[in-house]
Amino acid sequence: MKLNSELIPHENFHKGFWLQTPKCPWFFFYESPREFVLPNNKNFYNTLDEDLKEIVIGLHKKNISTTPSCAGHINNDDHYGKIFKTLVHTKNRIKNGGVELLNPETNRKFFYENKNYKLPYTHDEFLKKLRKYQTKGVLGMVDKGEIYEKLKGKVPVKKSDNVTLILTEGKTKKDISNNWKELEKILRDV
């Protein structure tokens, strides 16, 4: 297994699994072909961004599987600096004894150790990249094409194999929330 803590492009979120450690507020990406099913972990919905929770629950009630998602976030450099500090701590644990990782979709645990593990950015590079990256959001749905056709022209949408991706961007927390509130109304009809 090769973990990636790089900033994965939002349109690629569905191309693998997202794993987390109990002491780090960051998800690590493991690229792997996969199928999407409704989550079998009762705590899964607690891992969702608040702006996405009702949308995802609604889609799952309609038996529409979703892919890893992100609402988008606006935080200050102090917040992101604290995340970077925990990433450094986690990197050191990965290199020296390993860490337990959890797949929040399945509640399956993994152990990961890699003596050569490195973060792909410095503190300043991380902050610079994250300022732009975190303003974007994505929600993917398993779809043979019907959902894509209903959403095309109404929302920023992209098709990737059997997944329809809704891609968003907001300049403020309010923009991000409003985007998802509007999308929630539109998605009621899929």
- Reply yes or no on whether the pLDDT at 1 is more than 80: no
Q: What are phi and psi of 61, to 5 degrees?
A: -65, -25
Read off the pLDDT of residues 116-153 as tens digits, 9 standing for 90 and up.
999 999 999 999 999 999 999 999 999 999 999 999 99
pLDDT in tens, 141-186: 999 999 999 999 989 999 998 999 999 999 999 999 999 999 999 9
pLDDT at 43: 86
Task: Quickly count: other Cβ atoms within 10 Å of residue 82's Cβ.
Answer: 12
Q: What is the DSSP string of 175-188?
A: HHHHHHHHHHHHHT
| Boundaries of every domain in the chain | 10-187
Report the chain's terminal Cα–Cα distance, integer Å: 36
Q: What pLDDT is attached to residue 148?
A: 95
- What pLDDT is stored for residue 67 in this prediction? 96
- Quick one: pLDDT at residue 42? 80
Distance between CA atoms of residues 16 and 35, nearest Å? 9
- CA pair distance 9, 179, nearest whole angstrom: 19
The pLDDT, as a whole number, for residue 101 is 95
pLDDT of residue 50: 95
User: Residue 107 pLDDT more than 80?
Assistant: yes
Q: For residue 109, how many C-alpha atoms fall within 13 Å in the half-sphere facing its CB?
A: 6
Task: State how far the Cα of 48 lies from the Cα of 68, in Å rounded to an integer.
Answer: 9
User: In angstroms, how far is CA 4 from the centroid of its own chain?
Assistant: 13
Q: What is the pLDDT of residue 3?
A: 86
Supply the pLDDT for residue 5.
86
